[in-house]
A and B are shown apart, each in its own frame.
Chain A
């Protein structure tokens, strides 16, 4: 018997989800649709009479203190109701709750054979069908993954998705080049003509046609996402040839620096560096931009889920211990009518991606500890989502190698039709219909499945049950097994893969990017133990095939061979493209006669700028303390609302050795010169770890480029400039790159032309902290301290927060000083010598914002005197000194008893006592004239910083 259970809030009880929807109705100007009645629906079938059904519902579904329940036969449940919409997951889309229901029912000795869950929303009398449709699309569901039934009160019974014909299919490759290219386009392979010609030539020599799955495998492996074709290309840059950009810049810096703490760089799923005698650290940051553009919640969640599997798939498996995330989105207050067709409003994008990272990271039990958000209208159609993770890995588990004869064991989630063509999709441009056309490219995550997989992986690693591991990411089995088998060979039997539902074609199974799947190479003698371990914790595992010594990738399905690929051709057959790149400096902007509105007003504007304003609303939704390793938290100070520069964690319980993480990103500088942008963000990332106690001489960095379409010479030229900036800054600061990832083609095509994202380079720094108890935070500590500004201030206001808020760009972007590393080292030395009470780096908004933040975070007044700031140009005005964003500057607080030692230590670098902390709770700035140009109560500045972004996100609740 099939029963429909309806659960809703008791009268007088507020359903928080319904409340949230009511609040969001204002955003659609549909307040009249309130009140919203929300009913949770469960469709459960099995050997259930009414009595049993009631008992099940009482024990499992309803919380009688706050909810009430009705139970009806599904066939008798009310069917239609004009004022409601019923939402449930589409068939085939992961709905993990179903498994939990099955399990719990079993404990009550009830076997459920049909389970479906969903929501029903009822709106006010005056709401029209058209309005309900609008609300559904905007607030309640995503057509990519949800079934939305307006007017239907009943949950639809399960439908199995239609099957695909599953016969071995050959694809003849025509001699005509136009027809050949059409095959790439029609099959969604994202291969260009030269690549298609190469494949045609290969199969011509073999005197046979490729099968569909062979073409798909080549397309996945050769995708920009997997192969980084652009970075490896031969590039003509302003007439000069660059043979392999990444080898000439990013890799070269690491090679030239040759730091002994680098254990494994650019070869594994994450870079590995030394930590202590027992453990190394691994670190990786990934982008998940295109999936997040069409489904922010799922895209960001699986972005994090994916990078966590990268850590699990590094060496023989790292244990993730800290996550980071950075988002770049459009203007949160944009008017709907001003947005291009087909885009999701930036406010919904940001809320969606935050919730996605929150739900995945929190459920995995990994603290999310550092990050940032950048706002620029050019991100509207193509937001960026960076997610990263640090892992802890035993020193003797960093190397791996599959052997011929090892079994290919896959465990974790099942394979479904979700996430087909993710690797190739991410290598294409977004457009108005991306959502409907590429819906299948969205992956739906289930963090608990990944958590279970992680739990058994770590146990299996420690028991030595396998010899090699990687995760299923972009390209699914195709990429995972293709990589593991690269040097040996593999034979795969696709029939063995457990599917979410029947009807997948063999090539869908092969390239599905269904989440939460790990692949290990298990020696036959350990196979039983491996499978038993997985079974003991409800992790589904199966043998997909075995590794061979044939140097071929052979794929079987229903007894037929559907692929037989030469692994050498698969991995090395990709022709290297030749590309053209140009770069010309932008025209200088005339700033003569420019006058700001005054420092008093500007400091308020800058603290309220969403790029600078407190991200507390986001940070507090992340569990940043799980694992009990958090030493310097993302929010610090008296009221825990000061923005910390970096996070410090001691990942091994009982040891005070730790690491610091810091991020650097500033796409605005790239509008003036990507070379200097790269240098600036590397310096920023380093400042952020050094400020809290990280050792600059034990710091490694990651690069993540998100760029426009690099087939356009100007975009590629900017990429070359940025890469050259990376090399020079890395060499100058002594920071090896240990891993990285690029995401190209971040453009959004509209009727009125293409919107290109700003050149966005995220640098993430990981630094060793020898003793976390010496960590320093940015909040001022006590009255009567000396305040010093370390570093040189120059009139570098180009693309600064100050100018941008005046709708100016300027010309002089901050530049890295060749001796910057000395400053970093000396700040670190001062922290080790315990000379600093507080330390805050100057970044966006310059000295002004840094000093204000340090003051209100510490609830400690200060006075600084701009005449005492060391400037390169003696004619700098107050506003220039206060808001210049010159690099490598730290505002530090020193107890007068340590002043002499501190000053002696800083003798060789620009460092001046610019003020002191005072008894009065004010932020006071004395201008060059000697008069106070700012004298404000701290609370006023603190509230601007604390609530500006929150007010936008919460709809003025804290106003």
Chain B
């Protein structure tokens, strides 16, 4: 069986494309990094892929707000082909800036909606600046096709605008009720938290990643592609027997669910 193909989207300021592509390849996919200009000229390039990944970075310098300009491009020019991708069972992954763009494009609110998302957004961190640190996440894999079961993961975050804010309590509750909150920041006891630094940005109820109604679209602030070798864990020199890489598990699971 041929390997499933993943389109890793490049754009001005996107900078995690190499390692995101690499992680998908280690997981068994074939990848192609395509610049958005090429895709805007020919949106149907998406048709030959089973998944689209929006890597981290600073698309268009995060001008206006993080991911906003890319979100407009996704919504106005690529919305149709991306929804077709979902209809044929494909996956979309947005990491960090990719998540910011996805949530602002409306693609995380479900395949039917064409409006700019108005149920939730990502805003500046509560600590007022960029932060790079590792976090512990509680996963809910009931709906998402990227996560296997309900385990705990350790991954790094690195962003300035990652605070998850829902439009109102009702929107937040319904995300939880629909098992669409895939990752939450947790404290040492394993409970969701809003306390810095375990919750690095002040996200409501510690929301770190959500999926769409189908589970085929995942957006998350942490960087799974930065924990694909055991020696990337910040405490690896304290336990050299470590072999599991929590980031890799997301790519493995996604590729398992890809239709080649």
A joins B in a complex: yes
A residues in contact (CB < 8 Å) with B: 16-17, 19-20, 58-61, 63-66, 96-97, 100-101, 103-104, 107-108, 355, 358, 362-365, 446-448, 451-452, 455, 536-538, 619-628, 630-633, 635-638, 640, 650, 653-654, 772-773, 775-777, 779, 781, 838, 858
Whether A779 touches B238, Cβ cut-off 8 Å, given contacts A16-B124, A448-B60, A536-B38, is: yes
Q: Given contacts A65-B120, A66-B165, is CB(A626)–CB(B15) below 8 Å? A: yes
The reply to whether A625 and B156 form a contact with Cβ atoms under 8 Å apart is: yes
CA distance A65 to B118 in the complex (A): 7
- Shortest CB-to-CB span from B137 to chain A, Å, is 16
User: Please, which residues of chain B bring their CB within 8 A of the CB of A66?
Assistant: 121, 123, 165
- The answer to whether A60 touches B72, judged by C-beta atoms less than 8 angstroms apart, is yes
A96 touching B37 in the complex, CB below 8 Å, given contacts A620-B133, A625-B156, A628-B22 = no
Knowing A19-B128, A775-B231, say if A96 contacts B121 (CB, 8 Å): no
A-B contact pairs, 29 of them (CB 8 A): A17-B124, A60-B64, A60-B69, A65-B120, A65-B121, A97-B61, A97-B64, A104-B64, A104-B69, A107-B76, A107-B77, A363-B57, A448-B13, A451-B12, A452-B12, A455-B10, A619-B132, A620-B131, A621-B131, A624-B132, A625-B223, A628-B19, A628-B23, A628-B232, A636-B234, A773-B231, A775-B231, A781-B238, A838-B237
In B223-237, which residues have CB < 8 Å from any A CB?
223, 225-226, 228-232, 234-235, 237
Assess the B38–A60 pair: CB atoms within 8 A: no
**Would you call A365 and B121 a contact (CB within 8 A)?**
no
CA gap between A633 and B23 in the complex, in Å: 21
Determine whether the beta carbon of B125 is less than 8 Å from that of A65. Answer: no
- A19 to chain B: which residues have CB within 8 Å? 128
Is the beta-carbon distance between A538 and B37 smaller than 8 angstroms? yes
Q: Which 7 A-B pairs have the closest CB atoms?
A: A365-B15, A628-B19, A100-B63, A448-B61, A97-B63, A16-B124, A777-B237
Give the shortest distance, in Å, between A951 (CB) and chain B (any CB): 15
User: B157-188, CB under 8 A of A: which get 1 and which 0?
Assistant: 01000000111000000000000000000000
A19 vs B126: C-alpha distance in the bound complex, in angstroms?
10
Does B228 lie within 8 Å of A628, measured CB to CB?
yes
Most buried by A among B104, B116, B230: B116
Q: In whole angstroms, how far apart are the Cα atoms of A632 and B235 in the complex?
A: 9
From the candidates A363, A622, A650, A779, name the one contacting B132 in the complex (CB within 8 A): A622
A65 with B165, Cβ < 8 A, contacts A60-B68, A451-B12 known: yes
Shortest beta-carbon distance from B250 to chain A in Å: 14
Determine which of B63, B128, B225, B240 lies in contact with A101 in the assembled complex, contact meaning CB atoms within 8 Å.
B63
Chain B minimum-CB-distance residue to A781: B238
Beta-carbon nearest neighbor of B10 in chain A: A455
- A653: nearest residue on chain B (CB-CB)? B22
Cβ contact within 8 Å between A638 and B226: no
Residues from chain A with Cβ under 8 Å of B19 in the complex:
627-628, 653
Interchain CA distance A452-B10 in the complex, whole Å: 11
Known: A16-B124, A640-B234. A537 touches B12 (CB 8 A): yes
| Docked complex Cα distance between A447 and B13 (Å) | 8
Q: From B23, B58, B235, give the contact of A362 (CB < 8 A).
A: B58
Residues on A with C-beta less than 8 A from B228 are: 628
Whether A640 and B134, one on each chain, are in contact in the complex, defined by CB atoms closer than 8 angstroms, is: yes
- How far, in whole Å, are A654 and B170 apart by their CA atoms in the complex? 45
- Give the residue name and chain of the A residue nearest to B171 (CB): A65
> Count the A-B residue pairs with Cβ separation under 8 angstroms: how many?
170
* Contact surface of B with A, Cβ cutoff 8 Å: 10, 12-13, 15-16, 18-19, 22-23, 35, 37-38, 56-58, 60-61, 63-65, 68-69, 72-73, 75-77, 104, 116, 118, 120-121, 123-126, 128-134, 156, 158, 165-167, 223, 225-226, 228-232, 234-235, 237-238, 240
Chain B residue nearest in CB terms to A319 = B18
CB contacts (< 8 Å) of B229 on chain A: these are 628, 650
Contact B158 A626 (CB under 8 A): yes
Q: Known contacts A20-B128, A536-B37: does B231 contact A628 (CB below 8 Å)?
A: no
Q: B residues within 8 A CB of A773?
A: 230-231, 240
Minimum Cβ distance to chain A for residue B127 (Å): 9
Instruction: Determine the distance from Cα of A777 to Cα of B230 in the docked complex, in whole angstroms.
Output: 15
- New A-B contacts (8) at CB < 8 Å, excluding given A448-B58, A620-B132, A625-B232: A96-B61, A97-B63, A448-B61, A451-B13, A621-B132, A626-B15, A781-B237, A858-B238
Q: Which residues of B contact A104 (CB under 8 A)?
A: 60, 64, 68-69, 72-73
CB atoms of A107 and B12 under 8 A apart: no
Q: How far is the CA of A100 from the CA of B19 in the complex (A)?
A: 26
- B223 touching A638 by the CB < 8 A rule? no
- Which of the residues A64, A621, A628, A776 comes within 8 Å of B225, measured between beta carbons? A628
Contact A363 B13 (CB under 8 A): yes
- Contacts known (A362-B58, A365-B57, A626-B158); A631 close to B232, Cβ less than 8 A: yes
- Interchain CB contact under 8 A, A100 and B60: yes
Cβ-closest chain A residue relative to B240:
A773
Give the distance in Å from the alpha carbon of A100 to the alpha carbon of B23 in the complex. Answer: 30
B136 to A: closest C-beta gap in Å: 12
A621 touches B130 (CB 8 A): yes
Q: How far is the CA of A455 from the CA of B37 in the complex (A)?
A: 14
A898–B229 CA distance with the chains assembled, in angstroms: 28
Is the pair A358, B130 in contact by a Cβ cutoff of 8 Å?
Answer: yes
Provided the pairs A536-B38, A625-B226, A636-B234 are in contact, do residues A63 and B65 lie with their beta carbons within 8 angstroms? yes
How far, in angstroms, from A624 to B223 measured CA to CA in the complex?
Answer: 13
Whether A630 pairs with B232 at a CB distance below 8 angstroms is yes
Q: Most A CB atoms within 10 A — which of B125, B132, B229?
A: B132
Given known contacts A107-B76, A451-B12, A653-B18, A362 and B130 CB-to-CB distance under 8 angstroms: yes
User: Which residues from A are CB-within-8-Å of B125?
Assistant: 16
Whether the pair B72, A451 counts as a contact (CB closer than 8 A) is: no
**Most central of A101, A358, A365, A625 by chain B CB within 10 Å:** A625
How many Å from the CB of A660 to the closest CB on chain B? 13
A130 to chain B, nearest CB (A): 28
Q: In the bound complex, how far is the Cα of B159 from the Cα of A358, in angstroms?
A: 11
Contacts of A103 in B (CB 8 A): 60, 69
B223 to chain A, nearest CB (A): 7
CB of B227, distance to nearest CB on chain A (Å): 8
Q: How far apart are the CA atoms of A895 and B42 in the complex, in Å? A: 62
A628 — which chain B residues lie within 8 A by C-beta?
16, 19, 22-23, 225-226, 228-229, 232
Q: Which residues does chain B contribute within 8 Å of A536, judged by CB atoms?
A: 35, 37-38
- A16-B124, A628-B228, A773-B231 known; A623+B37 contact, CB < 8 A: no
Cα distance A101–B238 when bound, in Å? 48
| B11 vs chain A, min Cβ distance (A) | 9
Instruction: Please state if B22 and A654 are interface contacts (CB–CB under 8 Å).
Output: yes
Residue of B19, B61, B121 contacting most chain A CB atoms (<10 Å): B61
Which residues of the other chain, A, contact B22 by a CB distance below 8 angstroms? Answer: 628, 653-654
A197 nearest CB across to chain B (Å): 49
Q: A58-B116, A97-B64, A628-B225 given as contacts; is B234 within 8 A of A633 (CB)?
A: yes
A63 touches B121 (CB 8 A): yes
